[in-house]
Structure 1
């Protein structure tokens, strides 16, 4: 007999150590796959993390070409970074150029940088000055690129007006980028530039650098600009780390060598790096506080170091398995999943807490075999109802939310397995019930007072009254489906982007017009027609806002238009009135003849020549061109381009909500004006995502009803119809109260709020299940001693409140809405469950 007992004990010890070895191996694998330890960083750096917002959002456009254009623009914007250095005007300008040269040289030596648009030191043999490059480009196509309106005014002008224009041109021989008087006596090159997207910026060329004057911190500042093109994706971890380190070192270098300077940067890589850093901090903060909070609660309730360590092990292994599983299936963890995973700690500990509570309830009569036979049904029921909620989330066509559901499902399953397999083998000995029972004395006494004082009909009346009261709040509900719920970038980055966008005219907008045509010429003609119509339609709003456009046709008119204006200009240049006007102000005949010859030799500018010109590089992305690869041919049948509107509010002092309202009016008018134009599609990715969120929010609201029926059915299958109704009532009423509070506080409901409501149904019902299972068990010395079970239920709820409540302090509005909704729902469920249990016991 002793030998048999020894063999059983040895088998249990082996099983325990095997499970511990499995757990440690899993934790080690998760660390290697997910984290990258760097001694210089205050926290663990995450490797397999997806920071690309478009990777989270499904396709929202019916037009395949529109979706292709969105990806095309996103790829361009993610590979570009704008860098600016500002100093107060008229102070240390030479040092500014020297600092810019030093930073540009440093960037050129970085493997992650493909190209820097800035002067080289020493100058490269193939590097041309920006002005010289434009001069050579424009001279070659001078007649064809003449602005038709400017030429028409001269064709109809009197000799005196022509001479006056020539005299003014003599006093200002060239503009910042225009040709000099000998090559362009009437200044058409400057007018061409003013009509192009270059006019949207305030940039000028100074010592080979792009500079401008801006108002910064209330005083005029000189801004020096560099455009940097990156190797690889802006969402690559190593690239983000390299540029973040460069940014830190550059700030330190400027603080020492040029203290009055300020570094400004903007680009997808900055936003991606900021989102990663914020997610890492949120994960650290939520995870650490949750683990410490769980340890404090377990120590207070059970005064056992083993309970704390095993509880930690169960939840850490569950989360580690979830991270590994998602990484294996999806390749990367999204930021939303990452932060949510830290908050899942409070839910995965539920199973361990219920194990400890049941063991404490059994006291000296604890038997592993009998105890687990009675406990497993309760744990399975809690696991099943939770999985039902997350399975509903997995049906949403949003990759990030599907990944959250997958993460939670794996984590809960593994934690359940750890509790049912490891903990019974580790804690196979009885425990004194008094070690934790006195902690819940006041809970059980209050529960008994409820049972004695309030009959079932009073509780039913109270529930009905709560629903009636909440109805007023339900009628006040509003909704919000803005894409900005997914991302809330730091204010400092938004300010830097606003400064650099205003100074350069470059934008990263995902709201644009897609122009399609069978040939490049048709596309250009449709661009010109659309811009003319939009300008005419927007005249009525000119006191509220102005709209500029980024379009290829503003640099490159259709070939028919180019040829027509070239013929007109060449003919007009030969007329006696033109020649006499030039001679009258003293222009030599040889200069006039050379100018006329130059006009004759100029040729129209083709789309191929424009795209090959270095001048087109900042705007090359506007031309999608003709499809070449199989994927492009499936998306774009012919030729295509994009026109990006830039909205400028006339009232610079307008409040943020007023500005947003005016921008919304402008976008609506742009959409209306383009509706009937052939080959034109208005693409509004943020608007499309908001519509998608609204549609999913409505569908998920109907899904909540389905989940309520499913959960009720599962409960009825085990406990019967009457018990199922009592057990599910608290969660349903809690969801109504949460919605009512949103209505009373005028807090809009979003898709992520509805997600929280759905999980209230799936997760909140666990507390009623645990309470009822504890009441119906026959293994306790007396059925009246419910203190350990009540304490376990409250501990489970408190850990869930702690973890999901911490989502309220994250920087992501979506997670804030999800966490606060779920927290309020769990709190209400916890308070209402004893009442429902009371009515069930009375009945």
Structure 2
């Protein structure tokens, strides 16, 4: 074939571009340069805040996300020992986990504390010393000596004659949310009548969002569970890795189901419309070329592509077939005319249909959400590529037989003609839709909870709840950040905040909190405690020594040498589970659980202390961007209105914009009736409705002389869109479900209103009826 015309030259050039892109993608895939992102929170914008606070938040997320928590339930001690040893061996033999470490070596920890016990005092003892109530202090010590469960040695009396350290240690034990928990072999262990449970923390070696790593760890866990099941040992797992893995699998299944459902649906649809399966091949070629180029451009621009982007990309087939269905339906009525001759007069309407959809997606790129920007870029590039492939490919093929479908769907054209002929009916219908819609939208509610982003498995939620409740791990996502110039200032601020939180805990404002300062007093506090001990009069020490038949001089020596004893600091505390609450020397964290009054906690903030609530802040951010998206939606409608007015004239504004405007109103009205709460994803779905709805109106505006053909073609377009995006309404992820449901309703209403209310334009018309039919 000679390159004698523009379509041949453009086709050859387009084919070369696609081959080059495909080759580059294959090369990148073979060299592992294709990056698929599965972290659902990568879709979210980064909140503008203090850079240091942002780093702290990332640090906390990393500390929590890079761990998997395991509880094993055993019937007896023998099974517990066996399960613990087996876990150690399996972890040691695998590269999937960091070496298993005890949560706390109790003996070593107590020994470290005792070596630095000089300034470690129980809160009650500190109060006695501050009030100079030395008799109450020594009475506590005497009672302790007489306690039958207290082991007393000569060494203990020599180093701690007032027995202050045992009371401090007992105070630490009472801070546990569940006093029944014991540390055995360094692991938290809980013994009931029929069950013994042990808690383990496994640290990951890779990102919890790595798809291959998720699959490998899932296989490892299943094998380990099967081994323990032989000994009647049950396992309970939780952690970000498991929830992320479920989200990945859920997304992959939805990609498969959406793709399969869309393909089967469109297969039946094209057979109904054209009595041939050839459109499936041509649309597969168009969609494949679109997705190929879209994948390459999106990955190049963003350095990665999110799995969620591919979920929406799988639905591109529901949009790009609009153009081809319209062309093939028209071509079927003029079989003896050359395909490009038919294309020429309809090309403006096809091009405007593409442009209106692209404008809708273009406005999505103005959102601060990386996920929506990716989806918008993917969709714009994919649709443009698929559109170009379609107009270069379809005119070369023979016309198909759409007459049976046109006759079957003749009622659509008849209904359109009837409504257009009865103006009173049309105007009253429009007024009724507006009144009912405005009245219903008033009751529409929103839900911006960020937790709706990710799908949740009920079994995983139950396992997570069991682990956290069993071992007092009910950890909220809120925490205080304390920052100062020096470590001493941080410690002092932490002690002050701990006291305030303790008071609020007594008032029921907060259920509990975790802080380093609960276990380790600040160095300043320890020094002050030592000074208080050195202030005890010798007369009181003599009376105490005589009561216990101790050598008073030994007690005096202990008091004198207190100032030379080592002070406990965090460097000796690095193996404790709470050590991560100090990211650096000038910053500490306090974790909060069970907040009942947020305002009371917010009132504790100052220039050094900040309350971080990631979930609440992100949900608030979602709300802000939903509101911004609503304004953006209005701007998109205004932009489309101006563009259409410029191209078609002012008289075309109402016929082209009215149907999609009514469709949006009706969509939200139905959601209000059904009690469905809208969110950002619902609003984003309306951008797709705008593009598609205006397309329908444009095609009807141009197709006044063949309403039956246009009605049949647009019905197929609507159904294909429903099969693509409408299937998203069945997603288990609430956000995707909302998007899909919005598109589902919006597309149906757009088609109905464009069919009944869009008048034909005498100026912009497709004239083919003077050509002979087959």
Superposed pair shares fold, TM > 0.5? yes
Selected match of 1:683 from 604, 612, 617:
612
Q: Distance in 1 between matches of 2:199 and 2:31?
A: 34
Q: Distance in 1 between matches of 2:451 and 2:185?
A: 41
Change (3 A) 1:18 1:387: closer
The answer on 1:434 being equivalent to 2:403 is: yes
Please give the secondary structure, in 1, of the residue aligned with 2:494: helix
Q: Count the aligned residue pairs.
A: 756
Selected match of 1:643 from 590, 611, 632:
590
Q: Contact 1:19–1:422 (CA<8 Å) still a contact in 2?
A: no
Please give the secondary structure, in 1, of the residue aligned with 2:482: strand
Q: Distance in 2 between matches of 1:594 and 1:558?
A: 25
Match of 1:280 in 2: 252
Q: Distance in 1 between matches of 2:194 and 2:664?
A: 55
Q: Distance in 1 between matches of 2:199 and 2:719?
A: 53
Shift of 1:81: 2.0
Comparing 549-558 and 51-60, the one that deviates more: 51-60
Shift of 1:716: 2.4
Shift of 1:556: 2.6
Provide the alpha-carbon RMSD of the alignment: 3.5
Q: Distance in 2 between matches of 1:537 and 1:229?
A: 34
Q: Distance in 2 between matches of 1:250 and 1:829?
A: 54
Change (3 A) 1:376 1:227: same
Q: Contact 1:139–1:602 (CA<8 Å) still a contact in 2?
A: no
Selected match of 2:724 from 803, 809, 816:
803
Selected match of 1:743 from 672, 678, 683:
672
Q: Contact 2:701–2:760 (CA<8 Å) still a contact in 1?
A: no
Q: Contact 1:450–1:835 (CA<8 Å) still a contact in 2?
A: yes
Change (3 A) 1:22 1:159: closer
Shift of 1:520: 0.6
Match of 2:115 in 1: 140
Match of 1:666 in 2: 597
The answer on 1:258 being equivalent to 2:231 is: yes
5+ residue gaps, structure 2, are 765-774
The answer on 1:729 being equivalent to 2:658 is: yes
Please give the secondary structure, in 1, of the residue aligned with 2:521: coil
5+ residue gaps, structure 1, are 1-5, 38-45, 120-128, 627-638, 648-662, 776-782
Q: Contact 2:102–2:185 (CA<8 Å) still a contact in 1?
A: no
Please give the secondary structure, in 2, of the residue aligned with 1:614: coil
Match of 2:301 in 1: 329
Change (3 A) 1:35 1:342: farther
Change (3 A) 1:382 1:832: same
Shift of 1:448: 3.4
The answer on 1:71 being equivalent to 2:62 is: no
Please give the secondary structure, in 1, of the residue aligned with 2:237: strand
Q: Distance in 1 between matches of 2:428 and 2:699?
A: 25
Comparing 156-165 and 479-488, the one that deviates more: 156-165
Q: Contact 1:197–1:505 (CA<8 Å) still a contact in 2?
A: no
Q: Distance in 2 between matches of 1:156 and 1:61?
A: 57
The answer on 1:157 being equivalent to 2:111 is: no
Selected match of 1:705 from 631, 634, 642:
634
Q: Distance in 1 between matches of 2:416 and 2:234?
A: 64
Match of 1:824 in 2: 745
After TM superposition, the structure 1 = structure 2 runs for residues 262-411 of structure 1, keeping only pairs within 5 Å, are 262-361=234-333, 363-411=334-382
Q: Distance in 2 between matches of 1:471 and 1:728?
A: 17
Change (3 A) 1:462 1:591: same
Please give the secondary structure, in 1, of the residue aligned with 2:98: strand
Per-residue displacement from partner, 1:557-607 (whole Å, max 9, x unpaired)?
A: 2222111112334665x9565676577568899998998799676321234
Match of 2:567 in 1: 604
Match of 1:651 in 2: none
Per-residue displacement from partner, 1:58-111 (whole Å, max 9, x unpaired)?
A: 232432222121011112222222222113xxx233112211211222112222
Q: Contact 1:143–1:569 (CA<8 Å) still a contact in 2?
A: no
The answer on 1:131 being equivalent to 2:106 is: yes
Please give the secondary structure, in 1, of the residue aligned with 2:429: helix
Selected match of 1:622 from 567, 574, 581:
581
Change (3 A) 1:270 1:59: same
Q: Distance in 1 between matches of 2:125 and 2:354?
A: 75
After TM superposition, the structure 1 = structure 2 runs for residues 40-55 of structure 1, keeping only pairs within 5 Å, are 48-55=35-42
Q: Contact 2:274–2:402 (CA<8 Å) still a contact in 1?
A: no
Q: Distance in 2 between matches of 1:56 and 1:788?
A: 42
The answer on 1:557 being equivalent to 2:529 is: no
After TM superposition, the structure 1 = structure 2 runs for residues 416-431 of structure 1, keeping only pairs within 5 Å, are 416-425=387-396, 427=397, 429-431=398-400
Please give the secondary structure, in 1, of the residue aligned with 2:176: helix
Q: Contact 2:135–2:540 (CA<8 Å) still a contact in 1?
A: no
Shift of 1:385: 0.8
Q: Contact 1:240–1:273 (CA<8 Å) still a contact in 2?
A: yes
Match of 1:94 in 2: 78
Q: Contact 1:85–1:225 (CA<8 Å) still a contact in 2?
A: yes
Shift of 1:523: 0.8
Question: If the length of structure 2 is used for normalisation, what is the TM-score?
Answer: 0.89
Q: Contact 2:498–2:517 (CA<8 Å) still a contact in 1?
A: no
The answer on 1:836 being equivalent to 2:757 is: yes
Q: Contact 1:364–1:432 (CA<8 Å) still a contact in 2?
A: no
Per-residue displacement from partner, 1:350-372 (whole Å, max 9, x unpaired)?
A: 222223222223x2233222222
Q: Distance in 2 between matches of 1:158 and 1:720?
A: 93
Q: Distance in 2 between matches of 1:835 and 1:750?
A: 30
Match of 2:444 in 1: 477
Per-residue displacement from partner, 1:405-452 (whole Å, max 9, x unpaired)?
A: 111111111111111122223x1x344553643333333333334344
Change (3 A) 1:563 1:160: closer
Q: Contact 2:410–2:712 (CA<8 Å) still a contact in 1?
A: no
Shift of 1:310: 0.9
The answer on 1:82 being equivalent to 2:51 is: no
Please give the secondary structure, in 1, of the residue aligned with 2:425: helix
Per-residue displacement from partner, 1:199-226 (whole Å, max 9, x unpaired)?
A: 2355312245431247xxxx96322122
Change (3 A) 1:683 1:104: same
Per-residue displacement from partner, 1:271-290 (whole Å, max 9, x unpaired)?
A: 22221111111111111111
The answer on 1:212 being equivalent to 2:212 is: no
Shift of 1:148: 3.8
Selected match of 1:242 from 216, 231, 249:
216
Per-residue displacement from partner, 1:651-702 (whole Å, max 9, x unpaired)?
A: xxxxxxxxxxxx4x43333113x13x44111112222222222222222212
Change (3 A) 1:220 1:26: farther
Q: Contact 1:336–1:815 (CA<8 Å) still a contact in 2?
A: no
Shift of 1:22: 6.8
Shift of 1:740: 1.8
Change (3 A) 1:580 1:207: farther
Q: Contact 2:419–2:426 (CA<8 Å) still a contact in 1?
A: no
Per-residue displacement from partner, 1:157-192 (whole Å, max 9, x unpaired)?
A: 176554223222x42449xxxx98987674634644
Shift of 1:798: 0.7
Q: Distance in 1 between matches of 2:551 and 2:188?
A: 35
Question: If the length of structure 1 is used for normalisation, what is the TM-score?
Answer: 0.82
Selected match of 1:791 from 712, 730, 737:
712
